Chains A and B, each alone.
Chain A
């Protein structure tokens, strides 16, 4: 049973259907990272998908040749802030996977700097995930994951790997960085899948 906190009333509030349980709204764009921010020149940048049999690679220009699109979405961080109506530009993972053949159903995303996070492949397909290169009409700042980050806004934001460098297809789900350090394997904000 919940303990009522003596003298606590909380902020004036309206019920919002677009805010997952346990989240609060922020106008800021807070940063959560485990280490220093890598700086990657777009001239050096590359993105790879490693399947059971093939390695697919894109450089910065080849990524953009796939056709970026505008994305309007809400984002939810496990540290409890949510930011609604954010605008991004990026390339849909559907376009990346058009030329990728795999029988594996799980993905380990990896980043410059060594960060990893795991996702089911189906969560990256069907217009639900992008490689984002712009935020609010400007190139993505390094501290927010630039030059390119994964954007998987229907999951907690640690799944949207900053400084994304590649995806490795896996036959079964394996834990990434935060998933080995106490956080949930899937991370659905609407089911509050924060921790182990």
Chain B
């Protein structure tokens, strides 16, 4: 059941960026999850104090091995613990899967445009993985905005999929610093860029946008301006306004 706390054991940790890492957690009672869902994670101090936060799930499907990827918030309470402290063998309490809106199901045949800002890529990676695992013929396109090349989550996997997958196309946007020799200057997403590098509204894609609030607000406004009906633009925002 969604509402019940389950115990999971950390089985692997991996540094994704200088401030973020991914965690593999084996949760024997996990019922599986849809791509794009999230979970609640609860930490308990020795005096019984608890702190709970929601995290997007990077994995999808029926298994009991769940992957999270967490970016450390400078004044965070739970994320610094997950990024700096947790190690393999530690137990965590989790509840979920949660959310039934920001999800992609393998029986969806329409084109899908994914747009991520920073760690907002996590639920979108789950969708890309589900798309690959299902051998879906749906056209997938990801536009991934990061500050610098070192801020890319799941960099190797995404670069590999970009080469290997016939139905996935990735556009990288660097807002502060580009890789050496990159043909475009660093800059934020603009109406021109989104018009050039995303599936046009005339193809009637479902669009998933995830990232910091200001990024999502900007992108969603541009998408509506480009003719995407608001009900086909699904958003997930995080962080303060």
Question: A-side interface residues toward B, CB under 8 Å?
Answer: 2-11, 13, 22, 24, 26, 28-38, 79-80, 113-114, 143-144, 177-178, 180-182, 195-196
Q: Is B74 an interface residue when CB atoms closer than 8 A count as contact?
A: no
Question: B-side interface residues toward A, CB under 8 Å?
Answer: 2-3, 7, 43-46, 48-54, 77, 81, 85, 90-93, 98-102, 213, 217, 220-221, 223-224, 230-231, 233-235, 237-241
Which residue of chain A has its CB nearest to the CB of B93?
Answer: A3
Main secondary structure of the interface of A (DSSP, over half): loop
Select the residue from A6, A26, A32, A144 with max chain B CB neighbours within 10 A.
Answer: A6
Q: Is the CB–CB distance between B50 and A4 below 8 Å?
A: no
Known A2-B93, A34-B235: A10·B77 in contact at CB below 8 Å: yes
Q: Is the CB–CB distance between B237 and A33 below 8 Å?
A: yes
Given the complex of chains A and B, what is the CA–CA distance between A114 and B50 in angstroms?
Answer: 36
Given contacts A8-B51, A36-B221, A181-B99, 12 further A-B contacts (CB under 8 A): A2-B48, A7-B85, A10-B50, A10-B77, A29-B241, A31-B213, A31-B237, A33-B235, A34-B234, A35-B230, A143-B241, A177-B101
Which residue of chain B has its CB nearest to the CB of A38?
Answer: B230
Main secondary structure of the interface of B (DSSP, over half): mixed
Q: Is the CB–CB distance between A35 and B45 below 8 Å?
A: no
Contacts of A22 on B, CB cut-off 8 Å? 50, 52
Known A8-B85, A24-B77: A195·B45 in contact at CB below 8 Å: no
Q: Is the CB–CB distance between A196 and B2 below 8 Å?
A: yes
Q: Is the CB–CB distance between A10 and B100 below 8 Å?
A: no
Q: Is the CB–CB distance between B217 and A37 below 8 Å?
A: yes
Q: Is the CB–CB distance between B100 and A5 below 8 Å?
A: no
Q: How far is the CB of A51 from chain B (nearest CB, A)?
A: 27
Q: Is the CB–CB distance between A36 and B235 below 8 Å?
A: yes
Contacts of B93 on A, CB cut-off 8 Å? 2-3
Q: Is the CB–CB distance between A143 and B217 below 8 Å?
A: yes
Which residue of chain A has its CB nearest to the CB of B41?
Answer: A5
Please name 24 pairs of A and B residues whose Cβ atoms are closer than 8 Å in the assembled complex, sorted by A.
Answer: A2-B48, A4-B44, A4-B45, A5-B45, A5-B90, A5-B92, A7-B81, A7-B85, A8-B43, A10-B49, A10-B51, A10-B77, A24-B51, A28-B239, A30-B238, A30-B239, A35-B235, A37-B220, A38-B230, A80-B54, A177-B101, A181-B99, A181-B101, A182-B99
Q: Is the CB–CB distance between B91 and A3 below 8 Å?
A: yes
Given the complex of chains A and B, what is the CA–CA distance between A144 and B241 in angstroms?
Answer: 9
Q: Is the CB–CB distance between A9 and B45 below 8 Å?
A: yes
Which residue of chain A has its CB nearest to the CB of B235?
Answer: A35
Q: Is the CB–CB distance between B77 and A11 below 8 Å?
A: yes
Q: How far is the CB of B168 from chain A (nearest CB, A)?
A: 24
Given the complex of chains A and B, what is the CA–CA distance between A180 and B99 in angstroms?
Answer: 10
Contacts of A144 on B, CB cut-off 8 Å? 241
Given the complex of chains A and B, what is the CA–CA distance between A118 and B235 in angstroms?
Answer: 21
Q: How far is the CB of B123 from chain A (nearest CB, A)?
A: 13
Given the complex of chains A and B, what is the CA–CA distance between A24 and B51 in angstroms?
Answer: 8
Given the complex of chains A and B, what is the CA–CA distance between A8 and B43 in angstroms?
Answer: 7
Known A80-B53, A113-B230, A195-B3: A36·B220 in contact at CB below 8 Å: yes
Contacts of B221 on A, CB cut-off 8 Å? 36-37
Given the complex of chains A and B, what is the CA–CA distance between A7 and B87 in angstroms?
Answer: 11
Contacts of B50 on A, CB cut-off 8 Å? 2, 10, 22
